[in-house]
Structure 1
Amino acid sequence: MLTTHPRRGAGVMSSGLETVRPGRRYYFDGMRPLALTRPPIGVFLYSLKGWGVLETPVAGGSGRGGGVAEKVPEEHALLVRVPSEHCYQSAPECAEWTFVWFVFDHAYLIERLFSRGAEDFLNRVFALPEESAPVKAALALVEHIWRGGGDDTFTVEEGLFRWMLEMERWVFLQKHPLEPRQKLLEQVRAFALRHLAESLPVERLAAEFSMSRTHFTHWFSRVTGQMPAAFVREVRLGEAAVLLRDANLSVKEIAARTGFADANHLCKCFRARFHFSPGAYRNLRDAAAGGTEVAGKA
């Protein structure tokens, strides 16, 4: 079964459900000549039965018949960029390989997944249970198109973004499991709140955990996916927002209570995080209390 999406503007070019049986070879070369003359695309393929193979290059080599071979069995998916050095294909020893797939050419997703997120997403195989959120999002997208919804570009694009976000969430949680991540964040949050008005360099946090600055930074980043200084800044900003909302203190006083160097430092960090100045944020509180509108971001 194969359906072709009629409108490229939504970001999905085509989608399909295929079964490869003995006597038929399935082979896709990520560097096929035609691909080199066109804008890049992405391919997501999910194995429902049997298995295929993704080959990617070793350092300095080619992924077309001479690289690292990885199975794509049931409840696994591959995600590849075309053009790039890889190939995926059926395996002669597999009696039957059934998979669902879609091809997308949404420029923002291509850049986000394969440039900024290349380490996690470029030419990769993922273990994804059928009930996992990324698979549900992918199947819902394909089903919507197959049922005649391909002309609804807004819904198709929404489904494509939902799939991408679920993929990013899945990969993030695989790298940073929720329980140890949450435990460490709560420990550091509690320490930062106990010393909210004080300077809190990473060295001091590291000492609390009996580690060097470098060791602690690497460990914290590996477990949580964040940098310790950035997380402490988030804690401080959250408390500053609470004080702006609930207390009639000057910005200077709030900066001192939440560990910022001065009011200017707080304003700069606050605007970068919330896209409002502290004064505009406080005006929102006053407007909500008085039932009036705020004209703009001060």
Structure 2
Amino acid sequence: MTKKIDYNTYGFRFKGDYQYNVAGLSAIGFELIQSSSYRWHGLHRGEKDVYIFQYTTRGYGAISIDEKNYQLAKDDAFFVRVPSNHCYYLPNHSSEWEFVYFTIYGEEVSRLFNRIVSTHGNILKLPINSEPITH
């Protein structure tokens, strides 16, 4: 028997400067997008020095990073910094995009982000049973 998980987003507001020295969790969520009005641009979010990891579980979406376009299908993930020149959205020809995501911040996150992106890029192919996803 499979347990149904409801779509939702949770935000966190931790206090204290020490949080920036480690990896702080800002938000986490599981969403189903079915409207082509869904669009987030990394230069217009109003946030600074946060990192977004988003993993597609069903359907597909799209992201442009520095004017290069990518389609994101099941098992595709992206990892981006805010602010930066990226925009992720539900394309007009997609009926739905289901994904899990988290938004994190901190000096340790910045260090790991730079290492991951310099080695693997912003777009990652991760099977559902891969270690980063199972964690």
TM-score interval, smaller chain: 0.7 to 0.9
Residue of 14, 37, 50 corresponding to 2:59: 50
Query: The residue matched to 1:110 in structure 2 has which SS?
Result: helix
**TM-score, reference length from structure 2:** 0.81
Residue of 41, 46, 61 corresponding to 2:50: 41
Question: Alignment RMSD, CA only?
Answer: 1.8
For residues 130 and 18 of structure 1, what CA distance do their matches in structure 2 show? 17
Which deviations, in whole Å up to 9, do the C-alpha atoms of 1:59-114 show, x marking residues without a partner? xxxxxxxx111011101111001111111111111111110000000221213322
**1:127 corresponding residue in structure 2:** 125
Structure ID, larger Rg: 1
Offset of 1:24 from its aligned partner? 4.7
**1:71 corresponding residue in structure 2:** 71
**1:30 corresponding residue in structure 2:** 42
What are the ranges of 5 or more consecutive residues in structure 2 without an aligned counterpart?
Answer: 1-7
**1:80 corresponding residue in structure 2:** 80
For residues 118 and 96 of structure 1, what CA distance do their matches in structure 2 show? 27
Offset of 1:118 from its aligned partner? 4.0
The reply on whether 1:12 has 2:10 as its aligned counterpart is no
Number of equivalenced pairs: 122
**TM-score, reference length from structure 1:** 0.38
For residues 86 and 42 of structure 1, what CA distance do their matches in structure 2 show? 12
**1:2 corresponding residue in structure 2:** 9
Could you say which structure has the higher strand fraction?
2
Contact 1:79 1:121 in 2 (8 A): no
For residues 70 and 96 of structure 1, what CA distance do their matches in structure 2 show? 16
**2:4 corresponding residue in structure 1:** none
- Deviating above 6 A after TM superposition, structure 1's stretches of 4 or more consecutive aligned residues are none
Which deviations, in whole Å up to 9, do the C-alpha atoms of 1:264-296 show, x marking residues without a partner? xxxxxxxxxxxxxxxxxxxxxxxxxxxxxxxxx
Q: Which amino acid aligns with 1:53?
A: A
Could you say which structure has the higher helix fraction?
1
